[in-house]
Amino acid sequence: MPRSIANILRETGFYAALAFFFILAAFPFYWMLITSFKTNADLYNVTNIPFWFNDPPTLEHFRYLFEQTLFARWLWNSLIIGICVVAITLVTALPAAYSLARLTGRNGETLGIGIFLTYLVPPTLLFLPLSRVIADLGLQNSMWSLVLVYPTFTIPFCTWLLMGFFKAMPPEIEEAAIVDGCSLFGAFIRMTLPLSLPGILTAVIFTFTLTLQEFVYALTFISSSDQKPITLGVATDLIRGDIFYWGEIMAGALIASIPVAIAYNFFLDRFIAGITGGAVK
């Protein structure tokens, strides 16, 4: 076979596989988008083709969310929970990861692996003892219970992630700052943190995304509608018995997913650098 034909076939196969995986990944978002703007008559008419609009698009599902449900409150609750959990995670994970990364010998690595293993414990095994802790603290049926619980699985992973990133940074940078008059803490603040921005952004995006998509703890600890985050509110208040408000459910999922998609695309380069930054030294 001539080389040119082999190259064409190779490129055709590559782009065909790429197109297949792109469609596979993008189709749920497309389905969510088109369902959000369909009328109920268009949604429930089995003779209509479901992949495009058979009737003119409508905003009735979005109006229903903001006028007849507590959707705006759910968004606000999720934002407050996400910001608080991100702050707690960074304040805890940054010094912990830096300390473990700079420990000599196998102690730092062993402790880091032990911390990461706690992240692998399934939430379904932890919500029972955690519910007792929440009850003793008087945080039942409050979104602040999630602010307390979510760092239990965001801190271990972010500590492990940042450990690899700090290990990839040469300690001579901090030693030079100390020679110039900085304290160890000053070298950490002025030199290490600015150079660790991709890893920090990765931890922030991971933590915030995880708080938005978590469901088990929210379902366990919260029952009042005004305290629910968006994942729980959409999944419970828009499903009543055997009636699924598909238009409103998809509209709520679309609104919740857009900020995350924008954040991932806007910080994509830094996110990849943060994920892979600790891979090599």
Q: What is the pLDDT at residue 108?
A: 64
Report the distance separating Cα 73 and Cα 65, nearest Å.
11
Q: What is the pLDDT at residue 281?
A: 44
| β-pair partners for 240 | 243
- The amino acid that residue 42 corresponds to is D
- 249 pLDDT exceeds 80? yes
Per-residue pLDDT reduced to its tens digit, 34-81: 989 988 888 888 788 888 888 888 899 999 989 888 999 999 999 999
Predicted TM-score of the model (pTM): 0.81
Q: What angle do CA 262, 268, 271 make, to 5 degrees?
A: 120
Per-residue pLDDT reduced to its tens digit, 256-273: 888 777 777 776 666 555
Per-residue pLDDT reduced to its tens digit, 127-177: 778 888 888 888 888 899 999 999 988 888 888 888 878 877 777 877 888
Q: Which two tokens stand for residue 207?
A: 């933590």
Other CB atoms within 10 Å distance of the CB of residue 31: 13
Report the distance separating Cα 227 and Cα 141, nearest Å.
7
- 102 pLDDT exceeds 80? no
Nearest to 222 by CA among 243, 204, 241, 237: 237
Mean pLDDT over each residue of the chain, to the nearest integer: 82
